[in-house]
Amino acid sequence: MPSEPDAPDTAYEKSETRDRVRAAIAALPLREQKVIGLYYYGEVTMKEIGAEIGVNESRVSQLHARAIRRLRDSLGEMGAQQVAEMRKAFIAFAAKKPVMAKATLPQPQEARTPQTTGAVVLPYKPAAKRGVAAVPAPVRATRRVAAAR
């Protein structure tokens, strides 16, 4: 029987926590990242971690304790009361009904009143249609310069 998916607020909380923990681990020094990764995700003993990184088991324990202390500092201590307050804030946010904003559209072109500026717009007619002879192309300046020399 497949398990039921988490409620949206619970799924969001889990993903938020997962992202924060990943970012905090990424901020650790490389050696401490390796200790945390192997110990918690690789399920490797401290003795095996020591053999992997070239230190004894006691030093691995020190590195682990320092890494946990740094993670605690970067993630912050969150007590039960803070978790309850955050949950209430999520529920209150989810309970709010969205309010639709109404946009005002510009009036159609024909509904606008024409603005008179006193200017007259005449239709354009090409010179050939008005009965005017076509104007010859201007003489090139290079001929005049060459003749002057």
Q: What does the alpha-carbon distance between residue 33 and residue 67 come to, in Å, rounded to a whole number?
A: 8
Domain limits at 91? Answer: 22-95
pLDDT at 32: 94
pLDDT tens-place string over residues 89-130: 666 666 666 666 677 777 766 555 556 566 676 777 766 555
Q: Give the SS3 label for residue 135.
A: coil
The answer to whether residue 38 is domain-embedded is yes
CATH number, domain of 29, equals 1.10.10.10
Q: How confident is the model at residue 2 (pLDDT cuts 50, 70, 90)?
A: low
In this prediction, residues 51-68 reach a mean pLDDT of: 94
DSSP string, 32-82: HHHHHIIIIIS---HHHHHHHHTS-HHHHHHHHHHHHHHHHHHH----HHH
The answer to whether residue 67 is domain-embedded is yes
**What's the predicted TM-score (pTM) here?**
0.49
Q: Which residues contact 54 (CB under 8 A, 6 or more apart)?
A: none
The answer to whether residue 17 is domain-embedded is no
pLDDT at 45: 93
pLDDT at 16: 85
- Among all chains, which residue has been given the structure tokens 């955050």? 86
The answer to whether residue 81 is domain-embedded is yes
The CA angle 10-72-53, to the nearest 5 degrees, is: 110
The answer to whether residue 124 is domain-embedded is no
> For the chain, what is the domain count?
1
Q: What does the alpha-carbon distance between residue 62 and residue 85 come to, in Å, rounded to a whole number?
A: 35
